[in-house]
Amino acid sequence: MPLCFLCVVALGTQTSRRIAAAAAGLAAGPALILVLSRFGAVEYVLSKAGQGPRWWPLPEDPQNVADVWRAVILQFPPPRLTPLLIIPAVWFGWRVYSSTTSSGPPRFVLLCEMAALAALVAAWSWLILQAPNANYATFKIGGWIGPGLVILAWQFARRVNPFTGKPLAAAVLGLAMLRSLGMAANVASVVPDYARSPAYAPSSQPAQDSDGRCNVVLTSTQQEAVAAAIASSAAPARSCDVISA
């Protein structure tokens, strides 16, 4: 929500009254949910804070802040021919760039936004690296904040002088295209695994260990077997752990 607020401020000419109204409007939705649920959402989040989902969607686990933000920006490694495919996006960003020094929020407001964004980046980085499953946390954060980062970077490029703004605008669209191509390539590689019907019935009967925890024991660690076991046993809904025999 803080990133959404920064985007709202960056997208138009804002007075103090409009900024306050935008903040109140964005806060009203979550506040209403919290009140109606009697703060059940907060209780749920706190109960899951120390638990790491047993899913590793990224190819590699981030080990430091650089790994985190490389994954947030690109998520999946793009295809080898990607540099050729992003040329039209880079050219488009360069050609359509136009400075908006006479419209939009004052530059001081934009600089305050950049400072706020830097604080958010530091907070997100710390939270991700403290998470039980940093791989999953990085993947989720990247999906949530990616569009907002593109909007803010584009608006910032339009508020600086053209000498800096043009290459920055081209870089924003180029990175956005790299991210899109990488995600498309990843989807194309995994869809056939889920489209095929497995020719076997993996063992997926829940059982309890000595501590009372629910476990789903697999006889195979192939991707199709894991997906079928999770689906047939409803492991996430039952808070079960999927483990190999």
Per the model's pLDDT, the better-predicted residue between 55 and 176 turns out to be: 176
Q: Encoding tokens for residue 103?
A: 């419209």
Using an 8 Å Cβ cutoff, are 228 and 202 in contact?
A: yes
Q: Give 122's pLDDT tier (boundaries 50, 70, 90).
A: very high
d(CA 54, CA 224): 16
154 alpha-carbon distance from chain centroid: 18
Specify the pLDDT at position 102.
Answer: 47
d(CA 21, CA 71): 34
pLDDT reading at 142 higher than 80 = yes
Q: Give 239's pLDDT tier (boundaries 50, 70, 90).
A: low
Q: What is the mean pLDDT of the chain?
A: 75
Q: Find the mean pLDDT for residues 87-91.
A: 80
Which pairs from 161-168 meet CB under 8 Å and 24+ separation? 161/99, 162/97, 162/99, 165/97, 165/99, 166/94, 166/97, 167/94
- Rg of the chain on CA atoms, in Å: 22
The string of DSSP letters for 143-168 reads HHHHHHHHHHHHHHHHHS-HHHHHHH
pLDDT reading at 173 higher than 60 = yes
Per the model's pLDDT, the better-predicted residue between 14 and 204 turns out to be: 14
Q: Find the mean pLDDT for residues 102-128.
A: 80
Q: Find the mean pLDDT for residues 98-114.
A: 66
In order of 60, 178, 182, 239, the CA distances from 79 in angstroms are: 16, 9, 7, 36
Q: What ranges make up the beta strands (E) of the chain?
A: 206-208, 214-218, 241-244
Q: Give 200's pLDDT tier (boundaries 50, 70, 90).
A: very low
Q: Encoding tokens for residue 226?
A: 């894991």
Pairing of strands 241-244, 214-218: parallel
d(CA 169, CA 93): 5
d(CA 228, CA 196): 11
Each residue's pLDDT tens digit, 30-76:
888 888 888 777 777 777 666 667 777 887 888 899 989 888 888 77
d(CA 144, CA 138): 10
Specify the pLDDT at position 201.
Answer: 45
Q: Give 202's pLDDT tier (boundaries 50, 70, 90).
A: very low
pLDDT reading at 29 higher than 60 = yes
Q: Find the mean pLDDT for residues 121-137.
A: 88
Hey, which of 10-19, 162-171, 202-211 has the most confident mean pLDDT?
162-171
pLDDT reading at 9 higher than 80 = no
Residue burial 2-12, b: 16+ Cβ < 10 Å; e: rest: ebebbbbbbee
